């Protein structure tokens, strides 16, 4: 039987690498679209066996180029998303609303078997966040245009190549005091990128027809608990200090001027809302694929690089040193 072809947008990112490995290992072919093949080609190419990965360079609004790819695709998966806006077209509206709407129209035109779009958890509640508003608008347009769509709404996704656990460990290692926004009480259900890739594969291979699925990890952790776990893993003690909202807003105004902002005003607004299942939609457990990977166990596998001594701080080396001393 001819292998099915998945057309993936945003496959060079954190989730993309895990997903390409999962799909190609299971005999699906992938065509990955990137804006810059010179920069991202090697990373994409090394995620699966030769013959299973095709890479195409295209700007996301180069409709002519993109449309051609749909004629050979069975599935389309959209992983493109941004956390902050930049000038020259990189706006939430373009990336989270207009682009996914275009993809859904092409899915319909070329009669694809399924469109999987990665949105985000909690966007119904976060009514004052432009990120959430743009994601929700995108979802609504997609569902209107193409009924064979599954929208996945993940909580925060982590892995050894994320911008979440790794960035926090870097900051916690360097800063003596760390701010707690909203007293650190916001709740999350961190989901490992492996678990999310398994969910995506499950939806495709089991022909799941649910249109919106909330995707979460196996536990609920507050922002403060997440920081405490990371501090524990990197063997650091730091003061976690609740930051008054006025000061947090003021600092976000400055941080968002950085080329890669640590925090924006929009992210601060988003942080106000719990990032947990709503009870209104099916979850990954409901469709038969509960998450298995716990935050602390998984981050432990790479957190040693943020500890004093790096790999020499691991239990393996510590016990070897002890033996030599005896």
Ligand X SMILES: NC(=O)c1ccc[n+]([C@@H]2O[C@H](COP(=O)([O-])OP(=O)(O)OC[C@H]3O[C@@H](n4cnc5c(N)ncnc54)[C@H](OP(=O)(O)O)[C@@H]3O)[C@@H](O)[C@H]2O)c1
User: To which residue do tokens 């995108």 refer?
Assistant: 138
d(CA 303, CA 233): 6
| CB nearer to ligand X: pick between 95 and 102 | 95
Which residues lie closer than 8 Å to 319 by C-beta, 6 or more apart?
none
| Smallest distance, ligand X to C-beta of residue 183, A | 22
Q: Would you say 215 and 281 are in contact if contact means Cβ atoms under 8 Å apart?
A: no
Q: Using CB under 6 A, pick the residue from 7, 23, 77, 80 that binds ligand X.
A: 80
Choose one: 79-87, 101-109, 140-148, 287-295; the region binding ligand X (CB under 6 A). Answer: 79-87
Q: How far is the CB of 16 from ligand X (least distance, A)?
A: 6
Task: For ligand X, give the closer residue by CB, 42 or 247.
Answer: 42
Site membership for ligand X, residue 100 (CB under 6 A):
no
Which residue shows structure tokens 């009924």? 147
In the bound state with ligand X, the residue whose beta carbon lies nearer, of 34 and 267, is: 34
Long-range contact pairs involving 102-107 (C-beta distance under 8 Å, separation at least 24): 102/61, 102/63, 102/66, 103/9, 103/76, 103/78, 103/142, 104/141, 104/142, 104/145, 104/146, 104/149, 105/145, 105/146, 106/66, 106/67, 106/70, 106/76, 107/70, 107/76, 107/145, 107/146, 107/148, 107/149
Cβ distance 18 to 197 under 8 Å? yes
Counting contacts by CB under 6 A, is residue 60 touching ligand X? yes
Q: Does 66 participate in binding ligand X (rule CB under 6 A)?
A: no
Distance CA 80, CA 82 (A): 7
Strand partners, 116: 77, 150
Site for ligand X in 20-39 (CB under 6 A): 34-36
* Cβ-based nearer residue to ligand X, 94 or 313: 94
Size of the site for ligand X (CB under 6 A): 23
- Given the complex with ligand X, which of 28 and 118 has the nearer CB atom? 118
Residues 128 to 167: which contact ligand X by CB under 6 A?
A: 154, 156-157, 164
Give the number of other CB atoms < 10 A from CB of residue 75. 22
Q: CB of 61: closest distance to ligand X in angstroms?
A: 9
Contact between 13 and ligand X by CB under 6 A: the answer reads yes
Residue linked to tokens 């695709």? 73
- Does 118 participate in binding ligand X (rule CB under 6 A)? yes
For the window 221-260, what string marks contact with ligand X as x by the rule CB under 6 A?
----------------------------------------
Nearest to 153 by CA among 139, 169, 134, 143: 139
Q: Minimum distance from CB of 99 to ligand X (Å)?
A: 8
* Interaction site with ligand X (CB under 6 A): 10, 12-16, 34-36, 40, 60, 79-82, 90, 95, 118, 120, 154, 156-157, 164
């Amino acid at each position: 039987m001819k292998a099915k072809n998945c057309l993936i947008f945003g496959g060079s990112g954190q989730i993309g690498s895990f997903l390409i490995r999962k799909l190609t290992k299971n005999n699906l072919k992938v065509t990955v679209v990137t804006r810059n093949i010179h920069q991202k080609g090697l990373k994409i190419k090394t995620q699966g066996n030769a013959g299973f990965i095709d890479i195409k360079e295209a700007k996301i609004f180069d409709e002519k180029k993109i449309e051609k790819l749909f004629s050979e695709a069975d599935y389309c998966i959209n992983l493109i998303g941004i956390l902050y806006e930049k000038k020259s077209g990189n706006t939430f509206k373009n990336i989270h609303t207009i682009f996914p709407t275009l993809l859904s129209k092409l899915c319909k035109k070329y009669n694809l078997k399924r469109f999987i779009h990665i949105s985000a958890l909690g966007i119904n509640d976060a009514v004052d966040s432009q990120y959430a508003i743009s994601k929700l608008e995108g979802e609504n347009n997609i569902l209107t245009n193409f009924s064979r769509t599954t929208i996945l709404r993940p909580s925060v996704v982590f892995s050894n190549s994320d911008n979440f656990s790794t960035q926090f460990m870097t900051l916690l290692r360097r800063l003596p005091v760390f701010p707690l926004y909203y007293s650190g009480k916001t709740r999350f259900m961190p989901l490992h990128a492996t678990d999310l890739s398994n969910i995506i594969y499950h939806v495709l291979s089991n022909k799941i027809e649910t249109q919106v699925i909330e995707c979460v990890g196996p536990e609920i952790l507050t922002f403060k608990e997440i920081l405490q776990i990371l501090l524990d893993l990197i063997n650091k003690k730091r003061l976690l200090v609740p930051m008054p909202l006025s000061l947090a807003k003021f600092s976000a105004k400055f941080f968002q001027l950085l080329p890669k902002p640590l925090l924006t005003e929009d992210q601060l607004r988003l942080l106000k809302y719990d990032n947990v299942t709503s009870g209104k939609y099916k979850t990954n457990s409901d469709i038969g694929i509960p998450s298995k990977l716990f935050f602390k166990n998984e981050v432990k596998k790479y957190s040693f690089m943020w500890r004093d001594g790096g790999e020499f701080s691991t239990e393996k080396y510590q016990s070897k040193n002890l033996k030599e001393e005896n």
